[in-house]
């Protein structure tokens, strides 16, 4: 019954759809021919007006049928980079192949330009910005035999982070003689990651975040961190710069502490994607502090990727399962559901992970943070967040730095404690 109703509806509205399609496809040439045909109706019939009227009507009818029958049927493929930073232009190539049995004449194809939402008088005036921009020279008046291909190159720029779908491909046909012109939008099914741009010091707040990040990485790479490996009895020739006076007093023999400058195997970068409950998005649906945190993470990935350390990235998300490259043995040995990390084998994969990041519930993020910190153990950890974190309970944590991006007063560096309570640098504030 439903199928019969749908067929009946399609039959009834088919004439209206055909009329609207013909009306939208008319060009100045076809309108001129139609007006001339109407004018001939107001003149006394006879030679040569009958012939002119028949020629106009025949030209319009034949041209309309030929136009819609010969519209090109193109199969498109795209050559795009694996990812692109937000706000950075990148090149895209469209490969179009004519799949029709008829040749495609007088047509062109290109990306559809961005469109802005319509403003309604019921709503207050807002400043809408397009999500992308395109620079291109549309192909025009092309000829393709059946099975032949053509290419079109354009430069796209996306202004929002995330997994973005490429714009639709618009195919325009004007055969024959430009009497009619139709546009067919082909929705794109290909998407690409738009990664957060590296943070730039445009204001005092971002400068403070970059200074904290630079100071942390400098201390990390300059060997400022020393791991306590134990105490032992003093022997001649040993350095006495680190006497263990409590053990000496208790045992009655000279005891020294042994420290070792660690050979950094892994540096763990943990991104907390949870937001405070009172956080509200802007008019365009984004969270400025959240986007700033991801930009700071991109900066850290670029900086640490150039150093002789192995970087492991963990982003809190709704599920612990991930297309990852590195698993920690700590979680396996404990028999727990351990989060997995993206290792430094491919920095672009880490940036793509940041591109797909989105806010999650605080309860889920707290559980994953505790598990990630437990897995990292004594390795250096940098936690980026926009909120006040709970106590990160762990037994083997040696060094944890927490930086917040939700305000100038919250850019902090916490070091040497599992829970970010006391901050060593005098200029930082506890979180």
pLDDT for 324: 37
| Residue, of 119 and 132, whose pLDDT is higher | 132
Instruction: Check whether 343 has a pLDDT greater than 70.
Output: no
pTM of the model: 0.73
pLDDT for 45: 64
Under the banding of pLDDT at 50, 70 and 90, the label for residue 354 is: very high
Per-residue burial over 329-349, b = 16 or more CB atoms within 10 Å of its CB, e = otherwise: eebeeeeeebbbbbbbeebeb
| Residue, of 353 and 319, whose pLDDT is higher | 353
CA separation for the pair 69, 102 (Å, rounded): 9
- Phi/psi at 6 (5° precision): -65, -40
Mean pLDDT of 194-207: 86
Percent of the chain with pLDDT over 90: 21
Residues of the chain by 3-state class (helix, strand, coil), percent to 5: 30, 25, 45
Angstrom distances, CA of residue 61 to CA of 14, 55, 68, 116, 194? 18, 10, 11, 36, 48
| Residue, of 141 and 362, whose pLDDT is higher | 362
Instruction: Check whether 331 has a pLDDT greater than 90.
Output: no
What is residue 60's three-state secondary structure?
Answer: helix
| Residue, of 307 and 192, whose pLDDT is higher | 192
pLDDT for 374: 83
Instruction: Check whether 397 has a pLDDT greater than 80.
Output: no
At the second CATH level, the architecture of 74-113+129-195 is Sandwich (2.60)
**DSSP string across 261-315:** ------EEEEE--B--TT----TTS--HHHHHHHHHHHHHHHHHHTTTS-EEEEE
CATH 2.60.40.10 segments of the chain: 74-113+129-195
CB 25 within 8 A of CB 67: yes
| Residue, of 256 and 127, whose pLDDT is higher | 256
Mean pLDDT of 38-45: 72
CA separation for the pair 8, 303 (Å, rounded): 64
Mean pLDDT of 91-105: 90
Instruction: Check whether 338 has a pLDDT greater than 70.
Output: no
Mean pLDDT of 159-186: 90
Average of per-residue pLDDT values in the chain: 78
pLDDT for 241: 67
Using the 8-state DSSP alphabet, how is residue 430 labeled? -
Instruction: Check whether 335 has a pLDDT greater than 50.
Output: no
CA separation for the pair 39, 49 (Å, rounded): 10
Mean pLDDT of 285-292: 89
| Residue, of 84 and 127, whose pLDDT is higher | 84
Instruction: Check whether 191 has a pLDDT greater than 70.
Output: yes
| Residue owning tokens 């400098």 | 218
Mean pLDDT of 14-42: 85
DSSP-H helix ranges across 177-279 = 204-221, 245-251
Instruction: Write out pLDDT tens, residues 125-165.
Output: 455 567 899 999 877 778 888 888 999 999 999 999 999 99
CB 166 within 8 A of CB 188: yes
| Residue, of 264 and 69, whose pLDDT is higher | 69
Using the 8-state DSSP alphabet, how is residue 358 labeled? -
Mean pLDDT of 388-393: 68
Angstrom distances, CA of residue 4 to CA of 11, 15, 18, 336? 11, 18, 21, 56
pLDDT for 424: 33
CB atoms within 10 A of CB 175: 23
pLDDT for 176: 87
Percent of the chain with pLDDT over 70: 76
């Amino acid at each position: 019954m439903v199928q019969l109703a749908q067929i009946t509806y399609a039959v009834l509205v088919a004439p209206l759809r055909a009329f609207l399609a013909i009306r939208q496809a008319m060009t100045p040439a076809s309108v001129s021919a139609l007006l001339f045909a109407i004018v001939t109706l107001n003149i006394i019939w006879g030679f040569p007006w009958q012939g002119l009227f028949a020629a106009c009507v025949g030209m319009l009818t034949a041209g309309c049928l030929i136009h819609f029958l010969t519209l090109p049927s193109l199969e498109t493929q795209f050559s795009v980079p694996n990812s692109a930073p937000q706000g950075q232009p990148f090149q895209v190539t469209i490969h179009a192949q004519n799949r029709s049995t008829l040749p495609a004449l007088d047509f062109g194809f290109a990306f559809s330009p961005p469109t802005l939402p319509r403003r309604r008088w019921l709503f207050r005036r807002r400043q809408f910005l397009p999500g992308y921009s395109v620079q291109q020279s549309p192909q025009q008046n092309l000829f393709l035999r059946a099975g032949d291909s053509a290419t079109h190159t354009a430069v796209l720029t996306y202004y929002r982070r995330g997994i973005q779908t490429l714009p639709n491909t618009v195919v325009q046909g004007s055969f024959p003689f430009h009497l009619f012109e139709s546009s067919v939008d082909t929705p794109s099914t290909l998407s690409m990651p738009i990664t957060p741009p590296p943070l730039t010091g445009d204001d005092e707040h971002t400068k403070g975040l970059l200074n904290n990040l630079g100071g942390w990485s400098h201390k990390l790479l300059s060997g400022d961190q020393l791991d306590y490996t134990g105490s032992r009895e003093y022997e001649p020739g040993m350095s006495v710069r680190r006497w263990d006076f409590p053990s000496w007093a208790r045992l009655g023999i000279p005891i020294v502490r042994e420290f070792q400058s660690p050979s950094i195997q892994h540096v763990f970068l943990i991104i907390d994607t949870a937001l405070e409950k009172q956080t509200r998005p802007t008019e365009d649906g984004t969270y400025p502090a959240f986007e700033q945190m991801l930009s700071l993470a991109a900066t850290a990935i670029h900086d640490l990727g150039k150093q002789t350390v192995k970087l492991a990235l963990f982003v809190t998300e709704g599920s612990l399962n991930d297309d990852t490259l590195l698993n920690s043995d700590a979680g396996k040995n404990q028999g727990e559901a351990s989060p997995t990390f993206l290792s430094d084998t491919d920095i672009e994969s880490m940036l793509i992970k940041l591109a797909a990041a989105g806010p999650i519930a605080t309860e889920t993020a707290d559980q994953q943070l505790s598990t990630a910190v437990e897995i990292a153990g004594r390795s250096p950890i940098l936690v980026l967040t926009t909120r006040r974190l709970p106590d990160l309970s762990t037994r083997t944590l040696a060094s944890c730095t927490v930086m917040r991006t939700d305000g100038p007063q919250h850019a902090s560096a916490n070091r040497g404690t599992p829970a970010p309570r006391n901050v060593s640098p005098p200029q930082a504030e506890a979180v």
